[in-house]
Structure 1
Amino acid sequence: MRKDVTNNVAKISSEIADEAKTQIAYVPYWRLCPSPLNVRKRRPTGIESLAETIDAKGVMQNLVAHELKGRTKVPKLGVCAGQRRLAALDLLCEQGRITRDYLVPVLTVSEGEALAASLIENREREAMHIADECVAFRLLTEEGKSVAHIAALFKVPDIAVRRALKIANLSPVLLDLLRDDRLDYEQAKVLVLADDHATQERVWNDAHNAWQQRPSELRAAITTAEIDARANALAKFVGLEAYEAAGGYIRRDLFSDDQNAGYIEDADLLHRLATDRLIELSQAVCAEGWAWVETRTRYEALEIMRHDRIPSTTRQPTRAEADELAALVAKRDAAYMELNAYYDEDGEPDEARQDRLDAAVTAATYAVDQYAERFESFDADDMKGAGVFVYLDDDGQVCIERGLVRRDSASGQPASAHAVHQTATRERTPKERPLHGEKLCKRLTAHRTAAVQIELARQPGVALAALIFRMIPVVFDEVYGHAYIDQAVRIDVHTTRDALVSNADDMAESVAWNALEGERSKWARMLPKRTEELLTWLLRQDSDVMSNLFAFCVAATVDGISPADRAHPVNELANTLEVDLTRYWKATRAGYFEHVPKDRIVTVVGETVSAQAAGELRGMKKGDAAAASERRMTDSGWLPEVLRNRDVPERIAYGRWDDDGETSDEAETETASVETGDSPSDGEAEETEAA
């Protein structure tokens, strides 16, 4: 049935086209009126912009009409195809911009052909391709038309015209691909970030695989050495206007609604501007009487954590200060409520709105923090031996850490004494030298712990189960009192953050650590600064906030650092979470190869890369071999045995319950064997003490 209709329409269309050569004529506007045979019944839209085009260029496409029966000497013509053009002419006539005698090109058809003609025009019409539309805009500019003139002519915003002109700047080869739909509009928007055609074509031709042709990958290829102004803290702090005023170049992204969208080319200039401004701001802090003040363009968590702190006192605010602080807190809470309301809404996500709400929350939280700092004070004598870090956070806001004291390096004596004791023990009990020493094991298992922590923080359900798993044997000791509790992963109310840093000095480069610190900063901004407000704040939060905050807190307490390569309880969590440690750890010179003998390096490279690569290392010095191994191994996915070991300790019970709740004789025998067994090794004792 549908095939027959299509064939009839095509036949009539051909007949009408043949007749059009002789029957198109110019008729006065007053003879035209809507036809009852027009198949499009919906009220036409966009009439104003079409009227402007007709006023400027005339009616460039003829209307199709048929004679209406009536008693008038000159019959009216009913427009069966061209309803929008007729409505635009009506508007121009009403406004006095054309007369009733204005001539309009019209193809006159019979009443029998009118319905088919209307169907043909409305059904077979194809929208103009975006590539052709953009090129047409460019041709108008080449004729001398301004962006404002084109925008007014077509009733579109100026930015729409500028974006079209940007797309028209694609190389002719890529424009042809866009017309043929072998390049989509999203990809084109990214490729025009490059102004020259050679770069555009090179980036597209280098994208051999489908994933390389994704807009995000194309953007990364074009802006590989540039800084995204929307996400960079220094760019937010300095401001794009100041950067450009200093002579910096910005690659603008016209297709983003963010006014700060663009890519900064001169990273050195940006860093210098940020440093100069931070030094200027730090002068006021110097005047407070501190022994030293240092500036940083980023938050150096490891550096700050290596300092002690002097005590401070917090005074009560005056009534006026309390009122002002209350107003800031109310504004912050309102911003959070609006953001939470957005998350509760159904429908498609609005990234622009979410970014705007996030920015409002960040600004309001920062305002509260800055205002609350004025109530904290330090003793003048303590300040003479302490200092301050002035740094930027991830949002480009200035933060000040006051009251920091550099630690005395002489504090390491107890550790040295402990090391002597360990040496003496080994002399008494000779053991086979392990593949990885205690220090390296602790380094590697610290990275393992960080990976487990960030994965656990993302799964509140597993975090809840892990904590309850640890608590139940303590609460129900009458049931589980015979179990060896240390077989469960250690989770206490203390953070392992310092332990991770102290055992792995390369932790700052860890993907897991940076993700954890990002989460920590996010929650720290959200939490109230006063302890007395904390419970009330928690009770006001919705279940999503509570579950995710709970998961992070549980994750931050997980302790999986071990001085030896052996089965560890943390592996039970790692296996449950299916943690892929290759995502979080890579074999680097500083992280692994500098801490093992050269023979070990050669063995690892030989097993992982090739015997030829291993042979090249044998003639090198240890440092050169370590550096060369990093280049060969970084992306290999190789893990040392410590991190490949996913074994969980064997579960040992001091007794076993029968169904009647009594301990069996067999259980007593088992208990005796455990109690009279060998004492823990030195490594085990150290691990227990460290935990």
Structure 2
Amino acid sequence: MSNAYNTVVPFNRLRRSEENVRRTGRASAQYKAGIKKLAASILSTHKQTGQGLLQNLVVHVNGENFDVAAGGRRYDAVSLLIEEGEFQADYPTACLVIGADAVTAASLTENVSREAMHPADELDAFKALTEQGWTIDSIADSFGVTALVVERRLKVRAAAPALIEEYRLGALTTDQLIALCATDDHERQLEVWNRLREQHWNNDPAALRRAVIKTEVESSDKRVAFIGGVEVYEAAGGEVRRDLFAVDGQGAFLSDSALIDVLVETKLQEVGEQVRAEGWGWIEVWQQFDHTQFDRLGRAPKKLHELSAEAAAQLEALEKELESLQATMESLSDQDSEQSKALDIREGELEDEISKIQKSREGYALEVMPHAGAVISYYYGDLRIDRGMVRTADRESVNAVLGEGERLAGGRETESAGRKSNTISDALRRSLLGHRNLAAQFVTAANPKAAKMLIVCKWISDTRSNWSATPTDLSIGNGYGARTGCPITDEAGRVREEEFVALGELLIEGLPTEYGDLWDVLAALSEAEIDKLLAFAVARSVSLAVEDNVLSKKYVQALGLKMEDHFVPTVGNYLGRVSKELIIEALKEAGKIQSDEDQVTLLAMKKGALAAEAETRLMGTGWVPAEIATKPEELAQEKNSKKKKNNSKPATSKA
């Protein structure tokens, strides 16, 4: 605000700015009571000193008037005093005049540092500032909040506008709104919220997130069109349920939403490889556009390149034709409506062609591209490509090659404490967790003691109403595992699931179907035989917590679960679904890159060839993705348990 200046403005030339970020709660009784109290304070000061406002209103010029960007509560208080006849309509008001480009920042500073704003108002303001090129850090530093607060506010931009309005009214919390944003389908968000809003026992953030992630998808879902239609889904092995009574072919339901996720991701990866060939330093593929991650990336400035002689000549010809056509349109009379209509159509075509050529001039400096990258994402039903994105770690390198007057816009200046920028998709993450859960089920089925301990631990935790401490969200019912939100999406993993189901069927194959006879047969079984059945009964419902807690960690230790015994990385279950950078990282961790030259050769491979090569090299190494790998402390616990057991054995005497 270097060009700001102080002045005195008649109050009747002031008005509340549309840029003022505080819009929520001004009609509430609490707000009005505060304004009345503030008005009394201003009047008292005026009577004592002759000056009512001790702090300037912050305004910007709007024609002959001044819009109040900051100081809205003081503005409302003076308005009240004028209504009550205490002040004249032209009450001289001290103001600080600022430029229009600083309005949002000034309003936000005023409101954040004084009476707390509603988070929805902060969302609008933070969003406006990011669009003006502010970084996450500069917003946080300027307004006295943490970068996490800024990110959490911006995260809910994916919410339906109607939900944002309900959020303003306090109908749902920030965490509930973020949970509903697990899908970018606004209709789905509203359907779930309207159905569960009154179910206070069933609308916590976790429940809302589960509800918006559907397991069955209608054929009208935008993702189906994005992958190429129902036929592409069926060709990939997906099952379709059709409503025979539906008309116009609208009654198709795709039963495998996880497969749709895989097909969406595959298409995005293919586009990603094409964009990588342009010369970018990195490529990220997002199955669902992530506002938080996107806001952490800076944006490199575009550069205008020279047109080729052919394109320049074409542009000149189009502009001349457009100029001539517009002159003709101006000379036409009202009777020439048919000709006018035809010229209107041609005018639109010419403008589109000119715009396309001019847009082709936009690009990025060749020096910038190796330090920047592109994000390929699925965004509200369409493919979205964002080029020229800059990670926090690369900001310095990019700034070093930018020309005079050029600068990065937006992003994070400091590394986030959260996940790495180069991450796996949510669909793959959930599939990996499904693999881990299935491994725990197999091991539980062979470990009756652990199964019994789990049942008892579950009972004690539930009795104390401390469900969050339970090792797994166990439910001994008719489903195979409660981790339904983490479906395994690769073919080999599904075959393994079928093997687990078959194991249970084999155990009960020879048992009677009549309950009376069944009880008698079970009563005659040995304790070991009952234990075997009990262990599987518990195992089929085991659902390891996604986020480790103390008891779930203890349960994994008790099982002695080693994921390398149950998961081998392949093209289908991991390597074909992550970036080339993550494949290289896996090979490095497994010690399977022989030299710098070897790494360069691997990076030069096409994605499919690299994934296949990595599958071969990783075979037998025991490497497992970090998301599901057995942690060192769990292995240490297992070793200690074996050591104690060995030490407890009686010593044998020498002859």
Higher relative contact order (CA 8 A, sep 6+): 2
Question: Normalized against structure 2, the TM-score is what?
Answer: 0.32
Question: Normalized against structure 1, the TM-score is what?
Answer: 0.30
Higher fraction of helix: 1
